[in-house]
Amino acid sequence: MMKGPGIFLAQFMSDHAPLDRFATACRWASDLDYTGVQVPTWDARCLDLKKAAASKSYCDDIRAIAKDNGVEISELSTHLQGQLVAVHPAYASMFQVFAPAGVTTPQAMCEYGSEQVKLCLKASEHMGLEAMPTFSGALMWHTVYPWPQRPTGLVEEGFKELARRWRPLLDYAEDCGVDCAFEIHPGEDLHDGASYEAFLDHVDAHARACILYDPSHFVLQQLDYLAYIDLYHDRIRCFHVKDAEFRPNGRVGVYGGYQNWQNRAGRFRSLGDGQVDFTSIFTLLTKYGYAGWATLEWECCFKDSQQGAEEGAPFIAQHMITPPERAFDDFAGGKVDKAAVRRALGLE
């Protein structure tokens, strides 16, 4: 059965109480009726990742802090560190903010990001967690809408290199018993179904190369987010419950025209304010036996984060489904009567 409601703390941690410390942030989440927190491991206000990888007792202490404040830790996230595993030089200056001082080149970022991912996988193992949300990084994103045309072989070589970087991390994830749940996301080389499949082909369909499903990114791409569940449900390990809308006009479409978030055609919205069909999403995930967390990721250009958090937990709870213990039409059944069955088929 699906777990939740959970909340991703990344967009909420701040320098102001109660969101300036992990313990009080957990209490804040619990008071809003969340039962789990997804933890950004790059935020030292939440935990010391190196210490968590080195010490199970430290991890037990962090879990106890969460429990004492009314929630459990659902996952440890490495979105920012995963991004650094594959950085094209054109983006290096923008991604320096995700790395410590002195880590300025794509190669140094890759080494740092890869080590951070391994630390988080070990910490996740120490905490008994089953999945680690992350990003794949991107070597090819600047060619996503090619002009001039991509050189022959670029895509093949790009996925080959991405796989070369991630395969050792996936093998380490196997050793830790933790899935890497890649958030399929524009800006990443894994941004839709076709690119995810290409990656799988290059890592030999590695069992730990899984998915964080977030329908908002598919709305902005105009991809069928319900059919995506039908196609890849056996790989979905995490679920960000995030809303979005796509309202194209004569000025802007999918690419956004370099406008700010309020003026783009595709915009992230607080839960219930966008166009995502969450009833169908929760139904499909329940149909396919998804047993992970339903976690609010709040991003909205119109509504304050506190209001979004307050509205998020009841919205998720309202959509969660308890699978039936018996079929609704059981009353009309009965014991198997082979003779009656054959008569109904006109065979006797």
Assess contact for 206 and 168: CB atoms under 8 A: no
305-308: list long-range contacts, CB under 8 Å, 24+ apart: 305/11, 305/12, 307/270, 308/270, 308/271
pLDDT at 197: 98
pLDDT at 16: 97
Q: Which helix (H) or strand (E) holds 127?
A: helix 106-127
Q: Which residues of the chain have pLDDT under 70?
A: 334
Q: Which helix (H) or strand (E) holds 25?
A: helix 22-31
Dihedral of CA atoms 171, 172, 176, 177 in degrees, nearest 10, equals -20
pLDDT at 279: 98
- The pTM assigned to this predicted structure is 0.96
pLDDT at 54: 98
SS3 assignment, position 239: strand
pLDDT at 331: 76
Provide the pairing of β-strand 293-296 with 236-241: parallel
Which of 24, 28, 25 has its CA nearest to residue 10? 25
Which of 218, 196, 195 has its CA nearest to residue 209? 196
pLDDT at 95: 97
The two tokens of residue 183 are 């958030």
Q: Where are the beta strands (DSSP E) in 135-252?
A: 179-183, 209-213, 236-241, 243-246
The two tokens of residue 12 are 């909420």
Q: Where are the beta strands (DSSP E) in 194-311?
A: 209-213, 236-241, 243-246, 266-269, 293-296
CATH class for the domain made up of 3-344: alpha beta
